[in-house]
Structure 1
Amino acid sequence: MLSLSVRSSGLPLLVLAALAVFAGPAGAACTDVAQPGVEWRRCYHDGRNLTGADLSGATLRDTSFQRARLAGANLTNANGFRTRFVSADMQGADLTGAEMSEADFTKADLSGAILRDADFRRARFFRAILRGADLTGADLEMADLLHADLSGATWIDGERVCGDGSIGLCE
């Protein structure tokens, strides 16, 4: 039986126990090992080294990867709705079939990344580096590509390669 004694925080132990029980699974899952199908919702992985990690089929909704290293990572079929990859190193990452609508890739380096058939509706690529990236079949409806470097990227039609100096649009 729990005591109703008061801790130094001023809250009864019963209230503290209830807070611990009902804190939700999101906090506990944030410490799970990077692996296929991992469920990281509303987690902070800022600055973390996940180079080459296999996060295929992972749930990354509302998670933050600011300044994280995800070079060569496998994010195929991952769900990253509203996930933040601000200033992340994602060179050569594979996001084939990923659901990344409303994700923020501001200043992220996606050089050589595979973005085939991914959903980037309303995603933000402000000043992102997409040099040599493969955008074949990607959905960029209402995506913000302001000042994004698309030099050498394969465009969504799978046929056109953006010329050198393609900033903000594929020329």
Structure 2
Amino acid sequence: MNTTTATVLLALALSSLSTHAVANTDAPDESGTLVINGCPIWPYTRCPGADLRHADLSARNLAGADLRGANLTRADLRAANLAGAKLDGANLTAANLSKASAPAAHFRNAKFIGANLEATRLMRADLTGADLTGATLEYARLNFAWLDDAILVGTNLQEAKFVTVNLRGATMEGCYLRYTIFPDSDFAHCKGCPSGWK
């Protein structure tokens, strides 16, 4: 087991030892809206700092939602609509965002440690300073995305499309890059980014 794998496994183990209760899925309110720990699940909801750990948000429409600083550890966001959502500083450790649609979403300084972003659409998304250690971005589409100062260590980027992506100051180490493309991407001051892949 290499150091990167051991670090990712340790982070996942520690995230599961939290002393707080996992997200409590309340019954829908009288209007039929799903409410989780006081956060109504609908487009443009305002729930900064919400506790949505382990929440089932699969196929939910959260377009334009304000979830800055929310705890979404191990949340199920498969096929969710996160277009234009604000998740700056959110904790998405081990969350499942497979096939989610998040164009123009904000994930500045968010944690995606060990998260599944397979086939996620992140066009024009802002992932500045995001930690994607051990995450899977296989088949992800990141056209025109910002990953300035992002951390991609031990990240699976197989067949991901980084078209005109800003990777300035990012750290890319031990990533799986089979069939990954980076046309017209900016690698200035990037540590470990592939060279000659313009």
Shorter-normalised TM range: 0.7 to 0.9
RMSD between aligned residues: 2.2
Contact 1:29–1:40 at 8 Å: present in 2 too? Answer: no
Contact 2:85–2:105 at 8 Å: present in 1 too? Answer: yes
Equivalent in the alignment of 1:104: 111
Which residues of structure 1 form unaligned runs of 5+?
1-27
The TM-score with structure 2 as length reference comes to: 0.66
Q: Does 1:164 align with 2:171?
A: no
How far off is 1:40 after superposition?
1.0
Equivalent in the alignment of 1:71: 78
Structure ranking higher in strand proportion: 2
Structure 1 runs, 4 residues or longer, greater than 6 Å off: none
CA distance in 2, matches of 1:128, 1:95: 16
Equivalent in the alignment of 2:17: none
Q: Does 1:47 align with 2:30?
A: no
CA distance in 2, matches of 1:133, 1:169: 18
Contact 1:30–1:41 at 8 Å: present in 2 too? Answer: no
Contact 1:30–1:40 at 8 Å: present in 2 too? Answer: no
* Count of residues in Structure 1 that have an aligned counterpart in Structure 2: 140
Equivalent in the alignment of 1:140: 147
Which residues of structure 2 form unaligned runs of 5+?
1-34, 166-175, 181-191
CA distance in 1, matches of 2:36, 2:101: 23
SS, match of residue 145 in structure 1: strand
TM-superposition CA deviations, 1:74-114 (whole Å, max 9, x none): 00100111001100011000110011100111100000000
Identity fraction in percent? 26
Equivalent in the alignment of 1:37: 44
Q: Which one has the largest radius of gyration?
A: 1
SS, match of residue 62 in structure 1: coil
Contact 2:39–2:50 at 8 Å: present in 1 too? Answer: no
Contact 1:150–1:169 at 8 Å: present in 2 too? Answer: no
CA distance in 2, matches of 1:80, 1:169: 26
Match of 2:159 among 144, 147, 152: 152
CA distance in 2, matches of 1:68, 1:29: 12
Q: Does 1:90 align with 2:104?
A: no
